[in-house]
Chains A and B, each alone.
Chain A
Amino acid sequence: MKETCSFLIIFLLPVIYAEAQIHSESSAITPAGYQAQVISEIWWWMLGISSFISALVLLLLIVGLKLRREGTPRPPGGDLWFIVSLGLVLPFVILTGLLLYMLIATNKLIPPNADLTINVTGHMWWWDVEYPAEKIRSANELYIPTGKDIRVELRSRDVIHSFWVPSLSGKTDAIPGLVNTHWLRAERPGTFWGACAEYCGLQHARMMFYVVALSPENYERWVNERKRSKVPTAAQSAGLNAFMDEGCSECHAIKGTNAQGDVGPDLTHIGSRLSLGSGTAVNNYGNLAAWIANPQAIKPGNKMPRAYLPPEQLHSLTSFLMALK
């Protein structure tokens, strides 16, 4: 029975994992963050002005073509006045206004100091997330308190990536050899979808992440939860053994154990993660087992090799990891 179950898990779940979804927001024009709010205001203004100009041009074109004139061609009188006033003066006035508005708005986007700093490092194709003050390490998701200015320090381990959460803010590149700063400030709680926005190789499309904004109290609770030590129980030690024996620890770290690899995502709290494979699949027992058994089937080309585990061992490993909340 158990074997049949494992069989189903390994071979069928990759097919149906896409059915489950993480409810998240990803729209730049229905913002939840301060920066995105300022930018979306710019957008609505620009949309209005642009519609006006486009309509004006279209109207002039249609009227000019509808007004017919028989016989000789129209003499050039009035042309210069028309071109200079509509083609130069009008855009000059509009664009100068827009430029000033932009300069003022841009200044508003950079807060004077940070309430919280998070280090984010781009890897092919996932995000390492570190809270240096709180000594928390995670991957592919950021938990932040609402109403606070968050400084995200962006680095890259390999190629250029770009950190983008449309509902909260614009994007900033993570460039190898440089440290870039990106600012976030969520105005209300929610789960916000993010993605890599700079082409970074094969699985650029599957380099997504989530920003979870919690109320300050809930955020405090979350931090305390993360700080609590997670020594595996006896029931889980079989899973930990499998983790160490199968070489998982070469690449992955679990705090409080001997697993200290830093090539792949930190798995200290893997059981509480929203997604697997950097937003590729929802995190649950079935998907995690399927991922361990054959990550290449779910996210082809990712750096994790396939594990050839007997079903019982796969089960204990998966249960152990899912228990790491």
Chain B
Amino acid sequence: MNSEEQKPESNADGKGERRAAFEKVWKAPTGFEDWFKTVNNQPFGNRFMMTSFVFFLLAGVQALCMRAQLAVPDNDLLGPEIYNQLFTMHGATMMYLVILPFLEGLAIYLLPLILGTREMAFPRMSAFSYWVFFFGGVIFYTGYLFNAVPDTGWFVYPPVSLNEYSGLGLDFLLVGLGFIEIAGVGTGIEIATTILKFRAPGMSLGRMPLFAWAWLITAIMIIFAFATLFGATVMIEMDRALGTCFFRPQCGGTPLLWQHLFWFFGHPDVYIMFIPATGIVSMIIPAFARRPIAGYTLIAVAIMATGFLSFGLWVHHMFTTGIPLLSFGFFAAASLMIALASGTQVFAWLATLWRSSPDYKTPLLYVLGFLFLFVLGGVTGVMVAIVPFDWQVHDTYFVVAHFHYVLIGGVVFPILAGLHYWLPLIIGKMPSERLGKWSFWLIFIGFNLTFFPMHYMGLKGMARRVYTYPESLGLGWLNLISSASAFILGAGFLVVAYNVVYSRKRGVTAPRNPWNAGSLEWSVTAEMPNYVFLAPPVIRGREPLWDQSDEPHDPYLESIAKALKNEPAEWRAALVTDAVTGEPQAIQRVSGPSYFPIIAALGLLVTSVATLFQGYLVALVGTIFTIIVAGLWLWPRESELELMRRSKLPSKTGLPVEPTGSAAAPWWAMVGSLAVIGTIFGVLLYSYFYLRVYSPEWPQGSIKPPNFSGGAHYLLLLTSLGSILWARRAYNKADAASAAIALTVTALLAALFIAALSAQLADAEFAPSRNAYASIFHVTSWHMAALASGGALFLITAATRIAKHKNYLKGYTTLHLQITELCWYFTCVTALLVYLTLYVSPYAF
């Protein structure tokens, strides 16, 4: 795209009008409305980054306070109470509110540019995720207003985090966490769908930039990891608020279950932050080396291997808990295998830089700093995977040093590299090189002086999370050096912030593609319009901006791109391509400005604040309100559908404007949501069997569990498989009336199931708070009932739509049925697993 195309053309055949209409449909709201209504990827990318930077400043101040307390032995500057709050808030803020949200913001800002599309797949989801994240962060910090600051550590291990030992502050943390998890999975689904389906024509998986590869794997990991944490968070909040017994040793639960669930999230979470950082590095190094990345395929495979393996080594955070030695060998081996994946990436970057005579600008300096620090953090990571050594250094300052090398050296350095690198695309100005170099050296030197001595402190007996340490350890001087250097590090970050502000005001206007990079995002400038690309760019190789004269032209793709130039002009749309080949598949509508995202987020806020203060009635109202708002948000407007149905684009391009099945973005949203719900069921079933293996008797407390026939209501769901199959057959025969009836019957069966299940739970001889068995039985059943209710809502709306549009059994109507089927089959399969677990397994083995 060149600048001439940015201006509206005016010629006789009405093209100028189309162009003006196109501009109008993509126009962002202005003024007050812009704040709460806009949905574009660019403002929300910026908002995520700026909000997380504010939280970063808070976390930095907390870190400096901690270092002040630790500067000398037996110090009583802050005392234990404040110190424990500080390390909790510092950890939780950095892990939940700073690093991942910043990376997500960068991804939301850049992905459409890098992939060559006009928008993220679900623009309102970006907005919703942002607001939910923002509210979550505010709830985190609300504790300061009530003098109830969480002080259990970011890992909230029970029993310290149960209500016997910690107060309201922890509820703020857990509820805020719930918000952040929702924002996390929302963003995860959105980013995965965007990368899989919203790529420029011709961008096959093999031509996709590594930034997108990294984010594809990360987004999938986010969905599973954050859904796990969501399940665990709800369970621990139930232990606190409702008196269930999952983690409470006095009534049959075990604190170790929490550690398993938490680290099943927590370990991948480290890679969720690290993989996008490697994606940044893999974009910057080729630009500075002026040659394509070496070992592209190896890096992509390494990223996939890292993502997969990261879910298999959570136990290496639990080597000291006394679990069987045999399992340690497996987890240690898995931990070491990840080192191979990281090694591959490091040497691929070295190979790319080899004899490349790069220009030592700030982004490259940060990348080089990263390479060095990440190797140091990596080798200590291998050390802590060695079980006996971990017994010695676990929960000591050695580990503090290790993970700061990984998270600051391995993640924050690439973030800073990326910030300086992409700043021209964000603020339109070049960052100051002088300030950039100052910040780099301050941060690099300050960081090493602060954290390198900590390796030694850990080996010399300094445990983690201590507000002070005895003079007899002999670590006074080292701690003083570390504390003083932390202020150098802090100064470095301030210089970074100043550089952004200064460059924005006084900086040199950035030219197009200032680094002469090869990736697509540099084909635009910071002045890009909302829709970024007037016509989809046709991709012929991995580096579209570098010489591509060897790559063949594809006339079909070029004709599609031409047809989509400032089209469709009546509604916002982007091209959907095949997930693997990048061949065009459909023209997908994307949503425009709306108040729904922020209203839905507010509804959720009301629900959770009410829950926090035990106002369960208000919470119920808030929930229903949120569901209604979400329904209005998702329901397509008939007028817009009419516009779409009148369009000439399908005949011109051969691509549908009402895609169905896997060509439609909403289908992927359903798949993603089901992955989340399925993961939460996974958490519950894992907990069920974990507690069973852990308990000397099962069910605990001589409870007689309901048997095969006690779960007879699950048969209703089995029957409903027949009625939904009937609906599909009728629909295929264009018999709308029968299809609608069949769907209604299915919904009725669901309602009967929910009623019977509720009756059984109400009559049960054991209350959820009796023991861990009772808790897991009830909570799994609740979740089953909630899933069936959600399925029933889809069934009823699908029946209504089919009955109403009996002459239009295609397009959105078909998609609605497909999504409903997907949801209902999933519900039935889940029900079978739940039935087997709760009703059959206690008798079967």
Contacts and interface: CB of A to CB of B under 8 A. Distances in A.
Interface of A: 18, 21-24, 26-29, 35-36, 38-39, 42-43, 46, 49-50, 53-54, 57-58, 60-61, 64-65, 67-70, 73-74, 76, 79-80, 82-84, 86-88, 90-92, 95, 98-99, 102-103, 105-106, 109-110, 154, 158-160, 162, 164, 166, 169-173, 175-178, 180-181, 193, 195-206, 208, 279, 300-301
A142 B255 CA distance: 27
Contact of A87 (B332, B345, B464): B345
B388 A106 contact: yes
B160 A38 contact: no
B804 interface: no
A173 B318 CA distance: 9
B256 interface: yes
B84 interface: yes
A317 to B, nearest CB: 27
A301 B320 CA distance: 27
A98 B336 contact: yes
A160 B249 CA distance: 11
Given A83-B351, A170-B388, A171-B391, A68 B357 contact: yes
Of all A-B residue pairs in the complex, the 6 with the closest CB atoms, nearest first, are: A170-B391, A87-B347, A177-B249, A26-B461, A205-B466, A73-B291
Nearest to B286: A73
Contacts of A61: 350, 353, 368, 371-372
**Main DSSP-derived SS at the A contact region:** mixed
**Main DSSP-derived SS at the B contact region:** helix
Contacts of A43: 383, 389, 392, 459
Contact of A301 (B81, B289, B393): B81
A154 B298 CA distance: 47
A241 B204 CA distance: 87
Contacts of B460: 26-29, 166
A90 to B, nearest CB: 8
Given A73-B290, A83-B295, A166-B392, A65 B387 contact: no
B255 A177 contact: yes
Contact of A176 (B255, B290, B348, B391): B255
Contacts of A39: 388-389, 391-392
A173 B470 contact: no
Contacts of A50: 379-380, 382-383
B340 A88 contact: yes
Given A26-B461, A88-B343, A162 B379 contact: no
B463 A202 contact: no
Interface string B348-359: 101111111110
Contacts of A79: 294-295, 348, 351-352
B344 A83 contact: yes
A57 B371 contact: yes
B382 A46 contact: yes
Interface stretch (B234-242, B322-330, B486-494, B649-657): B322-330
B379 A54 contact: yes
A160 B157 contact: yes
B298 A80 contact: yes
B468 A205 contact: yes
Given A91-B343, A171-B391, A83 B466 contact: no
B472 A195 contact: no
A199 B464 contact: yes
Nearest to B249: A177
A42 B340 CA distance: 20
A83 B353 contact: no
Given A73-B356, A204-B84, 16 more contacts: A23-B472, A27-B459, A28-B461, A39-B389, A39-B392, A43-B459, A68-B357, A84-B298, A170-B388, A193-B472, A197-B396, A197-B463, A199-B152, A201-B165, A202-B84, A279-B470
B461 A76 contact: no
Contacts of A69: 355-357
A49 B352 CA distance: 25
B160 A199 contact: yes
Given A73-B289, A92-B340, A172-B391, A87 B346 contact: yes
Interface string B268-296: 00000000000000000000011110110
B355 A64 contact: yes
Interface string B377-399: 00110110011111111111000
10 contacts: A68-B355, A86-B343, A86-B347, A88-B344, A99-B336, A160-B159, A172-B320, A175-B256, A198-B320, A202-B84
B593 to A, nearest CB: 44
Given A46-B386, A175-B256, A197-B463, A57 B356 contact: no
Contact of B343 (A26, A36, A87): A87
Contacts of A202: 80-81, 84, 151
A195 B383 CA distance: 22
